[in-house]
Amino acid sequence: MSASATTIVVRGLLRRCGRCGGRRIFASYFRMKERCPTCGYRFVREPGAFTGAMLMNITATFVLMFVTLVAPVLWRGISGRDDIPWWPFVLGALGWAVLVPIVFYPIACSWWAAIDLAMRPLDPAEEADAEVHAA
């Protein structure tokens, strides 16, 4: 099973197994299965492997919050008006802070597992282990 790095990463972005494109890789909304039910690929290949998924989630949250909070500054600079209220933008940033980590979490997990697979293809022992556990 050899796919291009782009295909692997896009599969992960779509919440699928990066190796085979299989679905149903989540046991619940916040919990990824240990292995792909289709090809047997083990998603967590080493301890701490999902630190990258947490980083992706935090980065997405901070970027959206930053853009929301910079918007009134740009609006004031472009329009020349000083009477623009800040509170809608602050509430928007707080909304991002709550919603993005929840909504983006499963995408970040599957996407990071796919990125890890694209960066470090399976070695022969991992290939054999996946074949043993394939459905």
**From CA 52, how far away is CA 3, in angstroms rounded?**
22
- The conformational region for residue 40 under phi > 0 = left, psi -120 to 50 = alpha, else beta, is left
Q: Tens of pLDDT along 67-121?
A: 999 999 998 888 888 888 999 999 999 999 999 999 999 999 999 999 999 999 9
pTM: 0.84
Which run of H or E residues covers position 103? helix 87-119
**Residues 101-135 as b or e (16 or more Cβ within 10 Å = b):** eeebbbbbbbbbbbbbbbeeebeeebeebbeeeee
